[in-house]
Amino acid sequence: MSEDTPSLDALPIADRMHLLRFVCSFAWADLEIADTERSFVADLMQRLNLPDDERTQALEWLSVPPHPEEIDPTQVPREHRQLFLKVVLEMVQADGRIDADEIESYALFEQLLR
């Protein structure tokens, strides 16, 4: 991460939840949530230092994906885009395999954020 890219703990709580919505939506890209993806989200929630109610919401997104209107890439603040891309890529790689849907979704996400 570059010097001007914020760290996870520097994100306001609303942006932390926005990031988790994206991460969970990418976990759903192949229509199933692997144990390693669940573990990644649990670890990310820990790193984000989320309050319990936000943790509960994020766990719900692993049961039912976030609504598409809740994950608009154009709503990601410019100063957080590199961080979002980095963390979403980590999610895509979390289960040890990357399928065509995940590659396509990530490429589109990256294009929309650039």
CA separation for the pair 31, 89 (Å, rounded): 17
> Which amino acid belongs to residue 66?
P
Q: In what helix (H) or strand (E) does residue 53 lie, and over which residues does it extend?
A: helix 52-61
Say what the pLDDT of residue 30 is. 82
Say what the pLDDT of residue 45 is. 94
Say what the pLDDT of residue 4 is. 52
Reduced to 3 states, what is the DSSP secondary structure of residue 27? helix
Burial of 52 (0-12, 13-18, 19+ CB in 10 A): exposed
Say what the pLDDT of residue 99 is. 82
Say what the pLDDT of residue 79 is. 93
Going from the first residue of the chain to its last (114 residues), give the mean pLDDT of each consecutive group of 10, the final group possibly shorter: 64 93 91 92 93 92 92 92 95 87 90 90
- Global model pTM greater than 0.85: yes
- List the domains of the chain with CATH numbers: 9-113 (1.10.3680)
Say what the pLDDT of residue 5 is. 53
